Amino acid sequence: MTATPVKSESPHQWNHQRLYPLLLATVICVLIVCGTVTYQSIQRIRINSDLVAQTHENLRVLDRLESSIKDADSSQRGYIITGSTEYLEPFHNAAESINHFMQELEQRTDGDDQRQKGLETLKLLIRQKMDEMRLTITLSRESMSIAAENVLKNDTGKQFKNEIREQLTSIRSSHDRFLGERVAASDQAYIAALLTALTSTIVGLSLVAAVFWTVQDSRKKMEAATAVLFTERKRLQVTFASIGDGVVRDLTSAKKSQDEVSELASRLSEMDR
């Protein structure tokens, strides 16, 4: 019986054995990169969201500050025109609110030199305007209404008011630009996170498909190997059966020859007698 030669691994099989680990390492690297980019994008979205919320709060404080300045101006004019002291309490309350809101804005923009510079300019203008209002109230209280009215008619107070309005508009514009930049950055981070998540999903599905294909390919190879083993087993069974039949025939033939030799020897012995 001729022995079946052992087949060596083909170059195609050897290339596949090297390709599978390389593909797996590539997929793992891609997933790690996608996960890192997604995490960083989510962090940027969170940071930008916090900054946007802080900017909106700054704008609300600016609105309250401007409203308090208007209240102080209305109370001052009401007192000078009517001489009623009931306007003084709203004026003092508005002055306290102005100080409170300015301090809050300074705290909220601490570390931002550009915004701090704008607030310093606004603070100086408000102080000058408040000094002008306090002067007119003092003059009116001391029965110097004409002098107080002259101060009101002076363009200095109006100029302070216009400059305060312009400075508030400038600060709001700065905040609006910052909001636009943060919203754009959040959109970019969202798109990056979306793309990386989509890439991770595609890579993950590709990995599942590759694993499924590998399992199916291994199953087919196992079935083919099982079929080969089954065929070889049948062939060996047939071979062993043939060998057994040959041995039986040889033994039977040898026994028959032995009987013939014994019979011939018996005849020769009888002839010698």
Q: What is the mean pLDDT of residues 53-74?
A: 92
In this predicted model, what pLDDT tens digit does every residue of 247-257 receive, in sequence order?
666 666 666 66
pLDDT value at position 2?
Answer: 46
**Mean of pLDDT over the chain:** 79
Query: What whole-number distance in Å separates Cα of residue 66 and Cα of residue 64?
Result: 5
**Lowest mean pLDDT segment, chosen from 8-22, 33-47, 116-130:** 8-22
pLDDT value at position 251?
Answer: 63
User: Which amino acid, one-letter code, is at 23?
Assistant: L
**Residue 5, pLDDT above cutoff 80:** no
Top-confidence range, 69-73, 142-146, 178-182: 69-73
- Its sign, for the CA torsion 253, 255, 260, 261, is positive
Q: What is the mean pLDDT of residues 33-42?
A: 81
Tokens of 255: 């026994």
In this predicted model, what pLDDT tens digit does every residue of 104-131 receive, in sequence order?
998 988 888 888 899 999 999 999 989 8
Top-confidence range, 78-82, 172-176, 182-186: 172-176
Query: What whole-number distance in Å separates Cα of residue 244 and Cα of residue 140?
Result: 138
pLDDT value at position 16?
Answer: 57
pLDDT value at position 227?
Answer: 82
Q: What percent of the chain has pLDDT over 70?
A: 76
In this predicted model, what pLDDT tens digit does every residue of 214-244 receive, in sequence order?
777 778 878 888 888 888 888 887 777 777 6
**pTM summary value:** 0.61
pLDDT value at position 215?
Answer: 73
Rg (CA), the chain: 51
**Lowest mean pLDDT segment, chosen from 9-13, 86-90, 118-122, 145-149:** 9-13
| Mutual angle of helices 11-82 and 155-272, in 10-degree steps | 160
**Residue 271, pLDDT above cutoff 80:** no
**Residue 34, pLDDT above cutoff 70:** yes
Top-confidence range, 4-13, 34-43, 263-272: 34-43
**Lowest mean pLDDT segment, chosen from 11-15, 24-28, 165-169:** 11-15
Tokens of 90: 């709203």
143: which DSSP letter?
T
pLDDT value at position 155?
Answer: 66
